Amino acid sequence: DKTVSLRKDLSEMHEWITQAEEEYLERDFEYKTPDELQKAVEELKRAKEEALQKEVKVKLITDSVNNFIAKAPPAAHEALKKELDVLITSYQQLCSRLNGKWKTLEEVWACWRELLSYLDAENKWLNEIERKLKATENVQGGAEEISESLDSLERLMRHPEDNRNQIRELAQTLTDGGILDELINEKLEKFNTRWEELQQEAVRRQKSLEQSIQSAQETDKTLRLIQESLAVIDKQLTAYTADRVDAAQVPQEAQ
């Protein structure tokens, strides 16, 4: 009869809801690789969309039950109405939970992509430092040339900490949730080690360039004094030559 048919529809819908809950909400997920995380996001999106499509069926069942209740004797009302209310509540909760979990995983995926973006930006900056350190390894020239090399290195080292702080915070957010923790820890260890090594090398290079500038300045000063002394001697010798003074008649240093 109609009651049996309606109860069958209600039962089938309940079974589908229970199966969806077990499959997507009660199963423990482990995200150890980006592929696993991305796959989970896509699965939850499909499950959410499938649940929304079931809304048509839930509405048909609701209409059928309400139409039956309107015509059936009161004795048949209560049980069917209660089953329908339970179904509607369960369905709405399922849709809400699936949507919530999907949004959470989407945010996690976006967080991972953002972390990669910041790591890429910082590694590009570290590449620039490596090139600069190589370029300043054997700087030739005087104090001015060496000073220009030091200035360019110091400008490059005045790099804001914002990106590194973001990397730390994003990584902490993901690993606290046990998501991609091994991969993230590996990437962070590699990045931090490289960052520390290049920072230390840059500090050593700065000190080395400062010492080179000081040495070059002292050399320049010595050369300038020699040139000034030679100019004075040259002037004296020119005067002696103009006056036809014999070498034996001038001071020993002029001779």
Report the pLDDT averaged over residues 106-119.
Answer: 96
Per-residue three-class SS string for the chain:
CHHHHHHHHHHHHHHHHHHHHHHHHCCCCCCCCHHHHHHHHHHHHHHHHHHHHCHHHHHHHHHHHHHHHHHCCHHHHHHHHHHHHHHHHHHHHHHHHHHHHHHHHHHHHHHHHHHHHHHHHHHHHHHHHHHHHHHCCCCCCCHHHHHHHHHHHHHHHCCCCHHHHHHHHHHHHHHHCCCCHHHHHHHHHHHHHHHHHHHHHHHHHHHHHHHHHHHHHHHHHHHHHHHHHHHHHHHHHHHHHHCCCCHHHCCCCCC
176-200 pLDDT, tens digit per residue, is: 888 899 999 999 999 999 999 999 9
Predicted pLDDT at 216:
84
**Quick check: 69 pLDDT over 70?**
yes
CATH of 2-212, one of 1.10.645.10, 3.30.413.10, 1.20.1250.20, 1.20.58.60: 1.20.58.60
Residue 103 has pLDDT above 60, yes or no: yes
Residue of higher predicted confidence among 77 and 226: 226
Query: pTM for the whole thing?
Result: 0.78
What number is the average pLDDT over the span 85-98? Answer: 96
Those residues with Cβ within 8 angstroms of residue 170's Cβ, 6 or more apart along the chain or in another chain: 111, 114, 115, 118
The answer to which of 65-69, 70-74, 87-91, 211-215 has the lowest mean pLDDT is 70-74
pLDDT digits (tens, 9 = 90+) for 135-144: 998 887 788 8
User: Is pLDDT at 254 greater than 60 in this prediction?
Assistant: no
| Torsion, CA 117, CA 122, CA 128, CA 132, rounded to 10 | 180
Who's near 47: CB < 8 A, 6+ residues apart? Answer: 20, 23, 24, 98, 102
Residue 248: is its pLDDT beyond 70? no
CA neighbor of 219 nearest in space, from 150, 144, 142: 142
Using alpha carbons, select from 96, 88, 19 the residue that is nearest to residue 60: 88
Percent of the chain with pLDDT over 70: 94
**Per-residue pLDDT tens for 3-36?**
888 889 999 999 999 999 999 988 777 788 999 9
In the chain, where the domains are located: 2-212
- pLDDT over 70 at 152, yes or no: yes
